[in-house]
Structure 1
Amino acid sequence: MFPAIPNYHALAMLFLTIAALYLFRREDIKLESSCLAVLILVTVIFEIFPYIQPDGRHLESIHFFYGFGHEALVAVCALMIAGQGLVRTGALEPVGRMLGRLWKSNPQLSLLVTLLVAAVLSAFMNNTPIVVLLIPILISVSMRNNTSPSGMLMPMGFATLVGGMSTTIGTSTNLLVVAVAAEQGMRKLGVFDFAIPATVAGVVAIIYLWLIAPKLLPPRDSILESSAPRLFTAHLTLNEKGFGVGKTLAELIDATNGSLKAERIQRFGSSSDIRIMPMPDVVMQAGDRIRVSDTAENLKDYEKIIGAQLFVGKHQVDETHPLIAEDQQLAEVIIVPGSPLAGSTLKNIRFIDQYQMVAIALHREGKEIDLYKKLGSVSLHVGDILLVQGSRDKIAEIKKKGDLLVLDATTDLPHTNKAPLALFIMGLVIGLAAFGILPIAISALLGVMALLTTRCINWSDASRALNTQVILIVVASLALGEALMKTGGADYLAQLFLFFTQGLPPPIILSALMLLLAVLTNIVSNNAAAVIGTPIAISVASQLGLPAEPFVIAVLFGANFSYATPMAYKTNLLIMNAGGYQFKDFMRIGIPLALTLWLTLSIFIPFYYDIF
């Protein structure tokens, strides 16, 4: 029999869940805004339309803010900061050096070792720093061998996702599933409680990523590299009878359709030279020198339009003395999580002043924006690639600083003498949780305090490590999941699921649930999918009269199958831009990987948990 329609509050939460999942996948609406809107709607609905629970108690709307103090969110934030400590101290440097040396001798074996190292490290820390560590190493290898990095970067990125699903602390998704399940009465899963099925699936995945995936990936080139413009700093000296004499700087800018960007004006007097601020109302005189940094083509156009002579230093630009960039270099840099540029604009961050470099172009998911289309006002996202130009020293400086990931043939990694201490602290965090001495939220906070006390990181590093998107998606998802559970919406979804799978044996129902989550996690946030799927899994198990744990584990694994789309996980975007991949490349590699893991776990989990 088709399940009866639930109460109005449950229906409202079901519709809101559908709306939330739609909003979470919209690229034109910031995820933080969508999460905040969902959270506000949940609380407003229950405040205006009170809900009386079956036990007669009134469900307070303020209850849905509990996610801000939830154990899982505390653990997620603390682990993000602890991971930042490893990055800032260069604790992973020995791994990078070892892999760099290995790639020189045996590339095929090196790829396997890289995949294994990426997977193992991701089981104990956020995978973003690991991806950031390995991207320049693999690009360096491809440049040295004159090959495309596409056959290495995506397998490496997916290996970190596979490794992340093997422990409680591997991903924020795992932490949320374990915490929500414990709140619903299931036993609290330990750090390694589902490591065995994850390891079985991981072995299958690594073999696929090592031997099959590279052969399925076509060679991809860096989008920016082939047509990279270069800026030249030069002086435009106004001719005595040229158009610009007697005009204001604003009129000269208008004559070039707004493209002319004067950095400085130098005027030669009888006794001394003076520098004039490039204000719009400055009236230009013959002999004035306007300092400009631009492309060669634009500089030559300015020369004709405003009636000036182009000079570099003391030499007029001609065939004998062409434009030269001197110590300037071009570099492609990725905006990584925690960077001050993420979510901001070049203008707001004062990029030129802060980094002493100029941004020339932006590459994002197959689109390019150049300097003359208001690049400074474009809101930057994690995974965007900026083409920048600056001195050799400044580019080397940002590589060491860690705010941006430089894509080039070198692999300079930050390193301090506090690296062993940071590793010890991280090991202590994991050990205390693994042996059940402290909950992971408390041990991770203890680790953060130790990192701050020993000055492995400072509060500025800690604040950069925190991600507003992660915090709000966790809180909003927890609020939705709690509302579905309290109103009976989760039970209704479980009844619907069982209605469409009625008559099937429990292993097939478990497999279908995992497949449903695998599809959902590639469309919306994996955290949202996991929090909503966990109470449904518990309800399905209850109605089947079976233990909840295998069904919750199926949800956990399914929510980690973030392989089929670049937006399914934040590191997929880093990999996409660094490797020059297209959307279809993720589908070509990710869908077979997800199906392989789904089939493997659909067979292994029922045997392992004996639910036949």
Structure 2
Amino acid sequence: MTPAPPDLHGLAVMLLAVVALFLFSRDRIPMENSALVVLALLVVGFEVFPYVSPSGQSIGTRDFLAGFGNSALITIMALLMCTRGLEVTGALQPVADRLARLWLKSPTFALLVALLLAATLSMFLNNTPVVAMLLPILISVGLRTGTPASSMLMPVGYATIVGGVCTTIGTSTNLLVVQVSAEMGLAPMGMFHFTPIAVVAAGLAILYLWLVAPRLIPARTAPMPDTSPRVFEAVLHVGEQSAVIGATISELIARTEGAMKLSAIERGPGLFVARLPSVTIRAGDRLHVRDTPDRLKRFEKQLDVALYDALDPGHALAAGEAPKAGDQRMAEIVVTRGSPLHRRTLKTVPFFTHHGLLPVAVHRPRSPGAEVTDIGEVFLRAGDIVLVQGSAAALDVIKRLGNVLVVDGSMDLPHTSKAPLAGAIMVSVVLLAATGALSITVAALLGVLAMVTSNCLNWRAALGALDRRLIIVIVTSLALGRALTVTGGMDYVAGLYVMVAEPWPTFVALAGLLLVIALLTEFVTNNAAAVLGTPVAMFVAQRLGVPPEPFVLAVLFGANMSYLTPIGYQTNLMVLSAGGYRFTDFFRVGLPLQQIMWWSLSILLAWRYGLF
């Protein structure tokens, strides 16, 4: 029997939900912009056309904005801050170092260890920093041993997704599903409530990623060309107050103990002076040099000059735009095909300006002897490396975007003296939540407090861990789900699904729901798929007369199964650039993985809850 359609408000919200899913699937539209538009339409629409359901339930602006205070969102933000504490203190670095040494001894066994390590860490930490930590190691090991990095990066990236599904804090998606279902009357789930089911499926997935997946991946060429110290073309700007004004070139080189190799002196646009030892340095001169990043920074201090900003000939990094000394980082960004830097010049691409980074040098691996007279006019090609300078927060944002490859994220390494303390705080958070001594939200908030008060984390770094896209998408998804529930749209969608699934056994209805959510999450944000899918799961179970928990878990598991496309999950985008993969590689490797997870989780859920 076809369910009765909802009223006009319900139909309008259903249409808006379709529009939202479409917008969330568009790469060219910033996700936060799409989410804000949808949220604004909800608020304005229900403000202009107030709604009261037949049962007397109303919904309005306060309900739509309540997501900003949702406990699941607060928990997610607190856990991201705690994870940042591990990052900035280098708490995970000793693990990474041991893994690198093991890889040189036994690559096959090391790959299994890497997969298990990635999956285990992702059970308790956000998987983005886990992948960011492992990527440089895997790339370096691949180059040293002659093993294609592409055979390692994708399996390890998938392992973090597989591991994240095993606990309630493994991903933000898990927390949202647990919170939304609890608000709808389902019994709260503890940290390891569904771990036994997920771990069995994850174990099968790990075996596939270890033994089969590397053989399915073509030998792709990673954009990193070598591991030797890279020599960059850079320009040092002599400021008005520089101590080297009036010094001769010979005196200048002597200040660097003979280390600096001066290739040219630019005294105006296109005007170069002879590099005679007796030539004196003037204010405004630009010294063209070729050297490694650490030496370039040393020359800055020795000569009292500043690395030149390639985007603006009028100033150097010593100007007000430069980050404060204590917050300065340098990073090497590799130009990859399909990235916003490919086939562009530094002066024409808005990428660096938008993200608060200053490009200061360029490395050209295929023409090491070529001189670059104006690094801002260099036509970037795949494999070129741009040395950038900026704040730790700005560099972290670049890493999270995933559309460029950050090879070396820090020349100013984090202090590691706090690493054991940061690790102990994170372990305490997990234990307090796992034992039920405190709720996950309270334990995470106490973890942030401990990180900050113990100086493992400062507020700049803590706030830099927050993802504005994640926040606004979660709030919008919660508001949209609330509107669909109150106006009857969710009940209508559930009724349509039941109408199709009712003739089949309950197991088929469960497996079908899991697959639908898994396919949906390939094209829209997994948080949106989870928040919208959870009420549907509750309604479907109610209509079928079965316990709702297995259907809710089907949504949770399905929303994490982003295996078929590189756009489905953030870590997929990260390894896409680093491994030199093609779009089709993800489908080739991800489809068998999706089938393994789908069938194993469906069978385990049906067996656990007696739905056969």
Pairwise same-fold verdict (TM > 0.5) = yes
Answer whether contact 2:537 2:551 (CA < 8 A) is retained.
yes
In the alignment, what sits opposite 1:254? none
The SS at the match of 1:563 is coil
1:137-148 equivalences in 2 (<5 Å): 137-148=137-148
Match of 2:500 in 1: 500
- Rate the CA distance shift 1:357–1:467 in 2: closer, same or farther, 3 A: closer
Q: Residue 378 in 1 paired to residue 351 in 2?
A: yes
Return the alpha-carbon distance in structure 2 between the equivalents of residues 444 and 409 of structure 1. Answer: 27
Provide the C-alpha distance between the structure 1 equivalents of 2:348 and 2:569, rounded to a whole number of angstroms: 26
Question: What pairs up with 1:136-215 in 2 under 5 angstroms?
Answer: 136-215=136-215
Deviation at 1:570, TM superposition (A): 1.2
In structure 2, the residue matched to 1:74 is: 74
Cα RMSD over matched residues?
3.8
SS at match of 1:369: coil
Equivalent positions of 1:107-122 (< 5 A) are: 107-122=107-122
Which residue of 2 is the match for residue 431 of structure 1? Answer: 431
Name the SS for the 2:336 alignment partner.
strand
Change in CA separation of 1:549 and 1:396 when aligned onto 2, cut-off 3 Å: same
Indicate whether 1:325 and 2:290 are aligned. Answer: yes
User: What CA distance in whole angstroms lies between the structure 2 residues aligned with 1:531 and 1:592?
Assistant: 26
- 1:278 alignment partner in structure 2: none
How many Å separate the matches in 1 of 2:56 and 2:566? 46
1:14-29 map, 5 Å: 14-29=14-29
**Code of the aligned partner of 1:518:** A
Match of 1:535 in 2: 535
Contact 1:330 1:387 (C-alpha < 8 Å) held by counterparts: no
Cα distance change of structure 1 residues 47 and 113 upon mapping to structure 2, 3 Å threshold: same
Number of the residue aligned with 1:509: 509
Kept in 2, the 8 Å contact 1:400–1:414? The answer is no
Cα pair distance change 1:21/1:388, threshold 3 Å? farther
1:250 is matched with which residue?
none
Partner of 1:365: 338
TM-aligned CA distance change 1:375 to 1:127, over 3 Å: farther
1:178-257 to structure 2, matched below 5 A, reads 178-223=178-223, 225=225, 232=233
Q: What residue identity is the alignment partner of 1:524? A: V
1:244-286 deviations in Å (ceiling 9; x for gaps): xxxxxxxxxxxxxxxxxx96799xxxx9799xxxxxxxxxxxx
Q: Which residue of 2 aligns with 1:576?
A: 576
Counterpart in the other structure of 1:418: 418
Query: CA, structure 1 residues 411+98, in 2 after alignment: closer, same or farther (shift >3 Å)?
Result: farther
* 1:357 Cα offset (Å): 6.8
- The offset of 1:83, in angstroms, is 0.2
Q: Secondary structure at the match of 2:134?
A: helix
Aligned CA distance change for structure 1 residues 538 and 395 (closer, same or farther; 3 Å): same
Shift of 1:500: 1.9
Number of equivalent positions? 530
Task: Please tell me the residue identity of whatever aligns with 2:437.
Answer: I
Contact persistence 1:400–1:413 (CA under 8 A): no
* 1:100 Cα deviation from its structure 2 partner: 1.4
Alpha carbons of structure 1 residues 22 and 524: separation in structure 2 relative to 1, 3 Å: same
Deviation at 1:589, TM superposition (A): 1.0
Give the whole-Å Cα distance in 1 for the aligned partners of 2:348 and 2:104.
Answer: 39
What pairs with 1:263-274 in structure 2 (closer than 5 Å)? none
Distance 1:123 1:232, change over 3 A: closer
Q: What residue is the counterpart of 1:551 in the other structure?
A: 551
**Secondary structure of the corresponding residue to residue 16 of structure 1:** helix
Q: Secondary structure at the match of 1:2?
A: coil
Report the counterpart of residue 2 of structure 2 in structure 1: 2
The alpha-carbon distance between structure 1 residues 434 and 409, as it changes in their structure 2 partners (threshold 3 A), is: closer
More deviation, 456-465/44-53: 44-53
Alpha-carbon spacing, 1:414–1:148, altered in 2? closer, same or farther (3 Å) = farther
Find the aligned partners of 2:460 and 2:447 in 1 and give their Cα distance.
17
2:177 and 2:556 in contact (8 A); partners too: yes
Q: Once the 2 structures are TM-superposed, how far is the Cα of residue 376 of structure 1 from its aligned partner?
A: 4.9
d(CA) in 1 for partners of 2:409 and 2:86? 23
Rounded Cα–Cα distance in structure 2 between residues aligned with 1:550 and 1:521: 19
The residue identity in structure 1 corresponding to 2:440 is I
The farther-off stretch of 93-102 and 130-139 is 93-102
**Deviation of 1:433 (Å):** 1.3
Q: Offset at 1:501?
A: 2.0
What is the CA-CA distance between 1:603 and the residue it aligns to?
1.5
Residue in 2 that maps onto 1:290: 266
Q: Does the CA-based 8 Å contact 1:197-1:601 persist in structure 2?
A: yes
Q: Give, in whole Å, the separation in 2 of the partners of 1:397 and 1:65.
A: 38
Helix, strand or coil: the match of 2:78? Answer: helix
Q: Offset at 1:59?
A: 2.2
Q: How far apart, in 2, do the equivalents of 1:360 and 1:291 lie?
A: 29
1:87 aligns with 2:87: yes
Q: How far is the alpha carbon of 1:172 from its aligned partner? A: 0.2
Match of 2:105 in 1: 105
Whole-Å Cα distance in 1 between the matches of residues 145 and 6 of structure 2? 62
- Cα 1:186–1:107, aligned 2, differ >3 Å: closer, same or farther? same
Show the 5 A alignment for 1:40-59. 40-59=40-59
Deviations 1:218-246 (A, max 9, x none): 112234749xx976458xxxxxxxxxxxx
Q: Between the two proteins, what is the percent identity of the paired residues?
A: 44
Gaps of 5+ in 1: 235-261, 275-287, 293-301, 317-322, 332-344
Amino acid at match of 1:130: V
For the 8 Å contact 2:341–2:351, the answer to whether it is kept is no
- DSSP 3-state at the match of 2:32: helix
User: 1:437-516 counterparts in 2 under 5 A?
Assistant: 437-516=437-516
Contact kept? 1:514, 1:554, Cα under 8 Å:
yes
1: CA distance, partners of 2:4 / 2:180: 26
CA distance in structure 2 between the aligned counterparts of 1:85 and 1:606, rounded to whole angstroms = 40
Query: Which residue does the alignment assign to 1:335?
Result: none
Q: What SS does the aligned partner of 1:407 have?
A: strand
Q: Do 1:541 and 1:551's aligned partners in 2 also have CA atoms closer than 8 Å?
A: yes
Offset of 1:413 from its aligned partner? 6.9
Long gaps (5+) in structure 2: 249-263, 280-287, 297-309, 364-385, 400-405
